Structure formats: C-alpha cells, structure tokens
Structure 1
C-alpha cells in the first residue's frame, strides 16, 4: 500500500504540482500549465472543486473508482483522500481547479453556510456532469477569482474573494438541481428501491435486533452517500429521507394496531423502538393522536 501524501496547505499542493502561489489560502489552477505528474494517493487539508475537461481514466476516490468523463465537476472537502497508487507512470491533467483553505472562511458568511453545500460529501459516482453553458459559467467564476488574486491584497480582498466562491458554489447547487431533474428515471428507480428496502427491512427480524433503520443504513444499501441520498429524496418527493422512514414506520404500525392481541409496547418493540414512549411520541406527532386513541377509533 502506497504512503498517503499529506497536502495540508495550498502551498503544499503547489509544491507537488510545480505551481506559483499567489495567495496562501486560495488558488485557481489551470492544469494545462502543470507538468505531467506521477500518480499518488493524497489527503487534502482544504476544499477543492475540480473541473475535468477530458476523460482521464479510472481515478480512485475513497474506496471506489470512478471513470471521469468530459465536463465533470468533483467536490472535495478537507480530510478526503483521492488519487491512485504510484505505478511509475505519468499523466497530464487537463481542466481547472479551485482550491481554498478553511482558514479563508473564518468569520465570513460563507464559512457559516458551508454545511449547506452537501455535495462536498458526495461520492465520486455522484459527481456533477455539466453542460457547455454551465461549464462556461463555472469558468467565468474562476476568472473573476483569478483576477482578484492577481491584484495587490488589501482589506477588501477577502470579502470579494469569498463572495465569488459563494457565487460559484450557489451555481453548483443550481447545476445539481438540474442534474436531479434530468436524471428523473434513475432517481425514481432509487426511490422505488428505497421503498422496497424499507418493506423488506420491516418484514425481517432486523427491527427487533438492530432497531429502526437509519438514513445512513438505507444509503449504504442503495450504494449512495448519505448526503446525496438525502438530497435526492428531498428533491424527488419534497420530504426528507428520515420523514419517509418515519412515515413507513407509522403506516405499518397502524396495521398492527388493528390487532387487539398486541399491546402498544409489543408493537413498539416489533417496529424497532428501544423505548415504547418514543413510539407513542412519534405516532402522535405524525397522526395527531396517541396509539391508544387510534386503536379505539379503528
């Protein structure tokens, strides 16, 4: 197993690729100006948004491999590992990248919003595939940031640069929303598999042995990251994945409440609740009445 190359700062990455550092906390990289590189497994200490302009083979990202195609945007957050083992071969990257360190966002409005950009936690096979028009919008944002970096740094630089990054990330959110729409059939298939997964789960003994299914459990079984899965379900149905799980739980519990031989506590344990009062609380929240009241009405 190759050693993981630790690239904690923007300067560390620049040293790796042979690039000039204009600002210690942010960089716009034109890979056509970068020398051919050898493969390496790298851990970044900064955010990276990478535009791959040409197909460049299978790249390892986390535990999986992904075949990058033209016009692919990849979002990396600090601590993530990306790259292939060093085989001695070199490759020429083509495209662009925006790198920015978390320290740049300290005491900024963007720093407080970064959690909203959930695509930084997506898996590689959930990357953003952009159109030529979207690609040009992305490059325009990079050009504005680069122009600011080439000016002398003054008291306005940080606010202007972070505002430009925020615009780029907001456009990325718009592009992802478009991708969710254009992949409607795929998304519908995932929703159907999600519903089947929940039905199979509650028909097994897993609720009593494992407990209630989590969003992470469902995402793992559908081979998606939890954030991408949650965003997909929300955009497809208007409800969160957690709300779908809770709705399934309550609908199945309603059927069980028609059986007078089962106590409320027994039903709660069968559904995966560790404590019966948690079941009663959720049932009342979802239906407006306690399980006992619902049973008396049925």
Structure 2
C-alpha cells in the first residue's frame, strides 16, 4: 500500500498506517508460506523520525527501508512534513518475489533477520527523480483496480524497479552511520550488511572496542576479522575505529553540551591531550576550534 501523508507537528505511525488492508499482519499465509512485510518512508521535506530509540533526520528524497512492525514517531522541523509511505508483502517462495527482491542483498538480509527486531536502512539522496517517480507510479497503480491482473502485474514490476533503483549506487547513498543493520550473525550476510553491523557495533562501543573483542562478538578469529575489516572499509580496524571516534566527536561537539573532557572520556581516550592530538591531525583544528565554528552555542546567537 502506498500513500502520501502530511505531518503538522508530530505523528505516531502504526503498522496499520502502512497497510490498511491486512489487519492481522501475520507472517504466514493460509497455505503456510512465509510472508515478510517491508516498509518504506520517503521524505518529501525536512523531517525527523524516532525509531528504535534513535532519531534519524531526513532531507527531501531520503528513504528509510524498515523491517520492524514497531511504531515510529515522525516530527516536522518547522514547516509541515510531507512523506510517502509504502509497504510491500514479500511471500516466499514465489517466482514474482524473485523479480521484486532480485539480487538486492540488503532486502534478503532484512528478510533473514525477520520482523521481530527493529532494523532499517537509510538512503540519502540529494535528488533522485527516478526513485521518486517509482513511488508515485506505485501509488497511482494502487488507485486502480488491483483485481485486474494486468494492473496488479504492472504494480509488481514497478516495485521490482524501485528495489533495483535503491540498489543502484547504493555504496554512495546508504548512510551506514544512521542505519540499523541486522544483528551480529553476519557470516553469510552481504558485504553491506557486514560493514553496517560492524560499524553500528563500533559506534555503540567506541569507548571500549578492541579488535579481539569485536572479532569475538561477531564470532570470528581475530586475524581473519582484521582482514575482513580491511576488505570492507579499505582501512584497518584501528583506522576505522579512529574514524568513527572522530565522527562521533564532531557530532557531539556540534550538537551537545558535553564538555570536551567528557567527550574524550566517552570516546575512550586515556587523556584529553591524546584526544586533541588525534582530532587536530584529522581535521587540522582543535576540538575547541571546531565547537566554536560548528557548535550549537554559536547557532543560538
């Protein structure tokens, strides 16, 4: 089901907002075949979503692909927010679902993880007329008589084209830092899910993460995991952890009231001098200079 909504202030989205025609939302058909409900939110303006305890800011044409049935809250950030909502039920095994999901590894990883735990992937687009038109086309086809087998088939093909468009250039459009990838069982997952899951873990454990501890968390030998990180991130585990710490530092310096000492401690630096040295080497300015240029205190004046 596809539809457009306008959020005047705050709106709590429930599962029925995505699919008004399938109230039971069972994971199985009457014949016993499994079903997987996947949901999309396409932002047509600036908005913010609160999902799984995290805030995700959205700009025009950004998309979130969500596997969870859990409610989410949408807020506007000034003017009323406009969004496209879309839900698709994938049934397995059916030939048409191979057409829809195709070789999209992120979709398969979400399906394998199931719907009980909340997972989502954020796509950042400055502009994407093709992807947006697929959303509009699906909505238009759903306004027609879907009992017409030809219309229903066209809708199915349009959904498949949407999935294909999201897969195109996904390395550049997926926001790893804002996404919540499936679990820690990543041995047979796609490279994108592996990278996202490791990235999420390092963000959550930036203060204490070690190569050996992270490898053990994901069930890998330390040396193998080191090579895996090099392949996934094109940098060593240590370099990737340092990169994440700098990105978190930039966010906290700009958006929080935490002191620089608190930030250094929460990121795992033994002393503030080490934090200053690493930060200045990465950005050619001190944390204090960065906060003066980008911090929220500057924006308040």
TM-score bin (small chain): 0.3 to 0.5
Larger C-alpha radius of gyration, 1 or 2?
1
Q: TM-score, normalised by structure 1?
A: 0.44
Bigger fraction of residues in helix: 1
